[in-house]
Amino acid sequence: MSLRVRPHEPDSQGCVLDITPASAGWEHVGFKVVRLGPGDSHAGGEAGREACLVILAGTASVSAADDVYVAVGGRESVFEDRAPGAVYVPAGIAYKVTATTAVELAIATAPGSGEGSVRQIDPAAMPREIRGQGTNQRFVRNILPETEAAESLLVVEVITPAGHWSSYPPHKHDTDTPGEESALEETYYHRLDPPQGFAFQRVYTDDRSIDETIAVEDGDTVMVPRGYHPVGSPHGYSLYYLNVMAGPRRQWIIRNDPAHEWLLRPGCGVG
């Protein structure tokens, strides 16, 4: 099975991409992308699965349980230097997203028992972070990190400037070794600016039982069941990706590929 999932024409609820644990062949992460026109709606909510609704672009209202949030989101595109709109919905609670403008909606799901409450995630809690140096520099917003309440989900977005690398040096998180590494499935949802561009992502394991190099185009998703997963963006094309992660423990601890860890030494200009 290919690790690359391509979008399709919208269905009756605007869905253009839908990855489930069954379709991915794993246990935790679900990921969906929905495109809505003004006034259109998308409804969802699953027993046993929590959700993080991310308004990637556009403005929408979100209702869940007895809560209604209006004017969620507002940025024109994922490349605008502005936090997305986001609403957390515990497992088993129905929700509805209604577009005020054209909307690009990402829905991240993972196992949950229904603990917690519906809440809008404060955009002020998603400041832009700069990571790396030189051509390894990228810009990160933690949408639903470990410090924010949830049961399984971790959600983050990254912009990698043209000609830069990201998720680099190559790292992995596929072994549950407390204090050393966590086991997390992951999806990368890619957008490119300009949209006719492309980028590259490699997914590989130490024993090379997985070793796939993928040319990604605008709107593609790459599934990372295990292994290292660096990303490179060619000259002239900026890359955005949204990461969704989940696993047995809600903790992000990575292990770098030992062959490339030397890049993090002082003076190498990568860290």
Sequence spans of domains, the chain:
4-264
Distance, in Å, from the CA atom of 175 to the CA atom of 138, rounded to the nearest integer, reads 26
The angle formed by the CA atoms of residues 13, 48 and 28, to the nearest 5 degrees, is 85
Are 50 and 109 in contact by the 8 Å Cβ rule? The answer is yes
Q: For residue range 26-84, what is the model confidence (pLDDT) as tens digits?
A: 999 999 999 999 999 999 999 999 999 999 999 999 999 999 999 999 999 999 999 99
Read off the pLDDT of each residue in 224-247 and give the average, rounded to a whole number.
98
Distance set, CA 170 to CA 31, 95, 232 (Å):
23, 37, 11
Structure tokens at 38: 């003004």
Residue 231, amino acid = V
Distance, in Å, from the CA atom of 250 to the CA atom of 55, rounded to the nearest integer, reads 23
- 4-264: what fold? Jelly Rolls (2.60.120)
φ/ψ (deg, to 5) at 264: -90, 0
Q: Give the residue carrying structure tokens 């997985």.
A: 210
Q: Give the residue carrying structure tokens 């969620």.
A: 72
Distance, in Å, from the CA atom of 19 to the CA atom of 116, rounded to the nearest integer, reads 25
pLDDT exceeds cutoff 90 at 270: no
The H helix count followed by the E strand count for the chain is 1, 25
Q: For residue range 129-153, what is the model confidence (pLDDT) as tens digits?
A: 999 999 999 999 999 999 999 999 9
Q: For residue range 114-129, what is the model confidence (pLDDT) as tens digits?
A: 999 999 999 999 999 9
Residue 94, amino acid = A
State the virtual CA torsion across 106, 109, 115, 120 in degrees, nearest 10. -10
Residue-averaged pLDDT of the chain: 96
Distance, in Å, from the CA atom of 161 to the CA atom of 154, rounded to the nearest integer, reads 23
Percent of the chain with pLDDT over 90: 97
Read off the pLDDT of each residue in 224-248 and give the average, rounded to a whole number.
98
Q: For residue range 221-230, what is the model confidence (pLDDT) as tens digits?
A: 999 999 999 9
The predicted pLDDT at position 1 comes to: 67
- The number of angstroms, rounded, from the C-alpha of 34 to the middle of its chain's C-alpha atoms is 14
Distance, in Å, from the CA atom of 49 to the CA atom of 29, rounded to the nearest integer, reads 10
pLDDT level of residue 106 (50, 70, 90 thresholds): very high
Residue 240, amino acid = Y
Which of 224, 217, 257 minimizes the C-alpha distance to 243? 224
pLDDT exceeds cutoff 80 at 269: no
